[in-house]
Amino acid sequence: MEMNEKPHLLLIDGMALLFRSFFATSAMGHYFPNAEGVPTNGVQGFARHTMTAMSLFKPSHMAVCWDMGAHTFRNDLFDGYKANRPAPAPELVPQFDMTRNLSEMIGWKNYGIPGMEADDLIGSMVREWDGKSEITIVTGDKDLLQLLRPGVRIAFMKKGYAVYDFYTYDRFVEEYGITPKQFIDKKAFTGDSSDGYPGVKGIGPKTALKLIQEYGTVEGVIESLQELAPGVRKKIEVDMDMLFLSKKLAEIHCAIEMNDPIDELKIPVYDQVMRGLIEAEGYTMIVKQADSLFLK
């Protein structure tokens, strides 16, 4: 990296990659058990996905962010938060710790804080390094769109390990007609069925977008209630508490202190020693992938 060049920080949504890798192969009955008979399909897919992203995006620094258990501060705010999520498949359960351990063994910088979601860690990293670093986020989670700003792009996983749908600040504004920060207000109205909170009953994405384009924020809409069509106004009045709660649930918490020096996030070198460590764990597919990407 040239002295005057900004670092390029790659932020990996660890759980998103692990789940995606697990389901991509388990759907066909492939679990790649290790010598002890424990499935490794998620672990190996996660590492191969991450390594491919590293070779494609050529970051200078990297961090992997993890959810730490199901209970977060959002569950304290709302009992129903993510309550509709099914329990993870038994073949996936042992792979949570295995994946994190592998990630640490490889030397990638890992973050996980009990009570916080990976989104909150990623958001706090974005706040910490905004303007000081180019940032690429790899995820499958649309909630992260609210973090877009100049110098930050999101690579949404699409197909295999190498196909992504890229969102930049400009693309978002062009497509949605609001700012990424206002995406939080839009979600306050629509809720999020996958996260289990309802927003305002009867207000869909189109109406929500129109309201935010016109009045800017949830608070702006409330101040102008008298101007709204009676039907819309009534829906909002009935669900006012849930509207404000939904906004709290939708907003990524970006205030965690993430003040590790950038050198701690440097990407480790893949060499024969590292290769041996990964091979000793029985992760043959990772070794094969890493060899082809980094030992050309």
- Do 136 and 59 contact (CB within 8 A), yes or no? yes
Claim to verify: residue 218 and residue 282 sit in the same structural domain: no
Containing domain of residue 186, as a range?
181-250
- Do 73 and 115 contact (CB within 8 A), yes or no? yes
Q: Find residue 155's DSSP bridge partners.
A: 138, 166
pLDDT at 5: 82
Q: Which residues of 245-279 are buried (b: 16+ CB within 10 A; e: fewer)?
A: bbbebbbbbbebebeeeeeebebeebeeebbeebe
AA letter at 209 = L
Claim to verify: residue 98 and residue 186 sit in the same structural domain: no
pLDDT at 296: 65
Claim to verify: residue 111 and residue 228 sit in the same structural domain: no
Claim to verify: residue 170 and residue 185 sit in the same structural domain: no
Block mean pLDDT (10 aa), the chain, length 296: 77 97 94 95 97 96 93 92 89 96 97 96 97 97 97 95 96 97 97 92 96 98 96 96 96 94 94 94 95 87
Q: Is 3 within the bounds of a domain?
A: no
The domain total for the chain is 2
pLDDT at 4: 60
Claim to verify: residue 55 and residue 153 sit in the same structural domain: yes
Each residue's pLDDT tens digit, 49-100: 999 999 999 999 999 999 998 789 999 999 999 888 888 999 999 999 999 9
Claim to verify: residue 140 and residue 238 sit in the same structural domain: no
pTM above threshold 0.85: yes
